[in-house]
Structure 1
Amino acid sequence: MNTPLYPTCQQYIHRLKSKKSISKQIILFTGYDYFLQKHDLKVLLARYREVILVPRLIDETYLVKEALAPIFESYTDIHLVANPEYDERYRIIYEFAAITNKNIKILTVYDFCEKYLKKVYVPESYTESNPLLSSLRSRNYLQNLSKTFIDFSVSSVLLAVSSPLWLLSRVRIAQESPGPIFYRQSRVGLNQEEFYCIKFRSMRLDAEAAGAQFSSKKDKRVFKYGAFMRATRIDELPQLLSVFRGEISLVGPRPERRIFTESFEEVIPHYSSRHIIKPGITGYAQVMYPYGAGAKDARHKLMYDLYYIKNWTVGLEFKIIWKTVLTVLNYKGY
């Protein structure tokens, strides 16, 4: 794979080449708005010889004569992912492929992301015709029944198995950072209603003396044992009690504070849709996307959260639980 993941210049297409794929196919994304992450590119480069990203702002003459012509000479099978909400360049590419006798398959970015990348595409800005609006809904009765059974049974096992860690955490927190063992913080849950999230305290008592802020991967406000708890997710264990109270689920979108959800709703389309189900201690976004804070990362995580909501199955639920176990064992929590 060559050069940077995200191009800084909007005047040229960006090409990523696979050194391992033996496929003769290439894939082009038109109206590219930086929704692919490293995991996505790894999946694509295992399937295609080249991944070509065509930004929204690019001269059409340059696109056809200078960029596409030499590429098309080397390939006959082309997969085109169109982003019709942003531009019509996919039509130009499709017509150029037709007159040069290339085999071309075309999908919208919505269909492609859900089918191949297992996430729901969320655009950078609101659009009038978004298929997401008509297809997203909460679980039915039988799904909710299955989900509740999984929540209570798995949480009961975790509570019993983790009981020694509760005592250990109580002792170590008191030693390293005298003060409350737990901390309570208001979070936004189902249907935008607030509840109190309870965790083992992993930060100093003055952690938010300067106001609300996102935690970071190597947060200096975290004391030594607190960092260990965050890496292994031991700090999340008290939330099992919230599962039994019906406030959260074992798996679901990560609950955020009101100050952050309101800011995200202003800049990320459909962000509030994640609140049509209960939040979770762990989630699809947590096991699929690396640590991040801010609107850009929130948009990426939302794509996974919405896929989870839209495509929930018992199999997906246990897949997320298993991936969470692997995350804990590999000390990759956050």
Structure 2
Amino acid sequence: MKKIYRAERVYVHHLHSKTALSNEVLIITSYDYFLQKYDIGLLKKRYAQIILIPHSTEDDYLLSAKVSPLLDKFENIQLVTNPQYDDRNQIIYELIVRKNKSIRINTVYDFCENILRKVYIPEDVSETNPNIDSSLNFGRRIRYPKKLIDITISTSLFFMSLPLWLLSYIMIRFQSVGDVFFYQERVGMKNKNFMCVKFRSMRTDAEKNGASFSKKNDSRIFPFGGFMRMSRIDELPQLINIFKRDISLIGPRPERPVFTETFDETIAYYNVRHNIKPGITGYAQVMYTYGAGVHDARHKLMYDLYYIKKWSIRLEMEIIFKTVLVIFGRKGR
């Protein structure tokens, strides 16, 4: 697959598909930052050609000259627009109409939810998404079945995993000096902080230079700690947090206050994820690759808000299944 460049480096970038189920061409006229590799793979199975047109201040004639030849061999075109950039949308629309092509128009908000199964989060914190209600949360119709799933699966998992608790206790004591359990303040539902408990996977001096995101091949992680992280065994003590009603089995990953304060200021709608309980695993965790920082937090939020907005027992079971795949060494998607 060809690389998708950032908006400031390219004007029009097009991707051909050899496995598309239709002869339709897809044109996206808003920023392409919300598309990741998984999304492109999904779209290439659906559309014969994908044309990405990042928002730019370059000459509109140049835009037409680059896009026009790509449309000649297609009759059916789907145009995905960001209504907050009407000038660019109008130029592309008029170009398609002049060619007498069949056109379907979709907003980037609906396109993300219906096709990519995530909620569009603007890159600019001042931009809005009319499909997001800042009071979005779970009502009783959802809370009760989720609670039943939490109790049933968590209790079963606790008793089934007792040998792993014993193994982890022994190995942590053997490989690293310090406590077996690691307690850390995290932000929960309604922005209330709680103490999250895990098996300790890092040295006790891991944050002597201040709080920081963990990363792949982190030198602060001792050998068995790395195994626990890879297999998610270090998360098992969070079952205690479920029994204490701090978190749920599935939900947005609970972050530390030092990070959420930054994300609240730099990522649109970030605080909406705190309208429900966080979870040990979640939709974002099985759909998005490992990462840290504002860019990754924004992408994960797209999945977290989709989970809140589109919750169903089927989605809940899908996340549990993908989590099992991750634990046993396979990718969740």
Using the size of structure 2 for normalisation, the TM-score is 0.96
Deviations 1:216-267, CA, capped at 9 Å, x for gaps: 0221111100000000000000000110110000000000000100111111
Q: Decide whether aligned partners of structure 1 residues 70 and 294 sit closer, same or farther in structure 2, where only a CA change above 3 A counts.
A: same
What code does the residue aligned with 1:114 have?
Answer: E
2:211 counterpart residue number: 212
* Match in the other structure for 2:291: 292
Gaps of 5+ in 2: none
Match of 2:151 in 1: 152
Aligned-partner residue type, residue 242 of structure 1: N
Cα gap change, 1:17 to 1:211, in 2 (>3 Å): same
- Out of 270-279 and 51-60, give the one that drifted further: 51-60
Give the aligned residue type for 1:62: L
Deviations 1:155-210 (A, max 9, x none): 00100100000000000001110210001000000000000000000001110010
Q: Give the stretch that moved more between structures: 224-233 or 24-33.
A: 24-33
Query: Residue type of the partner of 2:328?
Result: L
Q: Paired residue for 2:93?
A: 94
Deviations 1:55-91 (A, max 9, x none): 1113211111x21211111211111100122452111
1:153 Cα deviation after fit: 0.5
Query: Does the 8 A contact of 1:6 with 1:34 survive in 2?
Result: no
Query: 1:257 maps to which residue?
Result: 256
Change (3 A) 1:135 1:47: farther
Question: What SS does the corresponding residue of 2:45 show, helix, strand or coil?
Answer: helix
Query: Which structure 2 residues correspond to residues 2-17 of structure 1 after superposition, within 5 A?
Result: 2=2, 4-7=3-6, 9-17=8-16
Q: Distance in 1 between matches of 2:135 and 2:117?
A: 15
In the other structure, the counterpart of 1:304 is 303
Cα deviations by residue, 1:71-121 (Å, 9 ceiling, x for unpaired): 111211111100122452111111211121101111000000000000000
8 Å CA contact retained: 1:173, 1:181: yes
What do residues 295-320 of structure 1 show as CA deviations (whole Å, max 9, x unaligned)? 00000000000000011111111110
Q: 1:8 to 1:162 in 2, by over 3 A?
A: same
Rounded to whole Å, the distance in 1 between the matches of 2:170 and 2:68 is 67
- Flag the 1:117–1:128 CA change in 2: closer, same or farther, 3 A: closer
Match of 2:26 in 1: 27
Give, as a single letter, the amino acid of the residue that structure 1 aligns with 2:121.
V
Of residues 45-54 and 15-24 in structure 1, the stretch that sits farther from structure 2 once superposed is: 15-24
Q: How many percent of aligned residue pairs carry the same amino acid? A: 52
- Give the letter aligned to residue 109 of structure 1: V
RMSD (CA atoms): 1.5
Query: Pairwise mapping of residues 1-334 of structure 1 onto structure 2 (< 5 A)?
Result: 1-2=1-2, 4-7=3-6, 9-21=8-20, 23-57=22-56, 58-64=58-64, 66-127=65-126, 129-134=128-133, 137-330=136-329
**Structure 2: how far apart are the matches of 1:328 and 1:25?**
38
Distance (whole Å) between structure 2 residues aligned to residue 134 and residue 183 of structure 1: 36
How many Å apart are 1:33 and its aligned residue?
4.0
SS at match of 1:291: coil
Conserved? CA contact 2:32–2:53, under 8 Å: no
In structure 1, how many angstroms separate the alpha carbons of the residues matched to 2:312 and 2:33?
29
Tell me whether 27-36 or 266-275 shows the greater mean CA deviation: 27-36
Q: Counterparts of 1:22 and 1:228 in 2: how far apart (Å)?
A: 41
* 1:127-170 CA distance string (max 9 Å, x none): 46531343752111121111100001000010010000000000
The answer to which of 122-131 and 39-48 deviates more is 122-131
Contact map agreement 2:188 2:277 (CA 8 A) in 1: yes
> Structure 1 residue runs of 4+, over 6 Å off?
none
Shift in alpha-carbon separation, 1:128–1:165, aligned structure 2, 3 A: closer
Report if the CA contact (8 A) 1:287-1:320 is conserved: yes
What is the alpha-carbon distance in structure 2 between the residues aligned to residue 10 and residue 30 of structure 1? Answer: 16
Q: Distance in 1 between matches of 2:288 and 2:135?
A: 21
Check the 8 A contact 1:232/1:332 in 2, yes or no: no
Counterpart AA for 2:254: P
User: Which amino acid in structure 2 is aligned with residue 197 of structure 1?
Assistant: C
Question: Could you tell me how far apart the structure 1 residues matched to 2:142 and 2:74 are?
Answer: 45
How far did 1:8 drift? 6.4
Q: Which range moved further: 145-154 or 90-99?
A: 90-99
**How many residue pairs were aligned?**
331
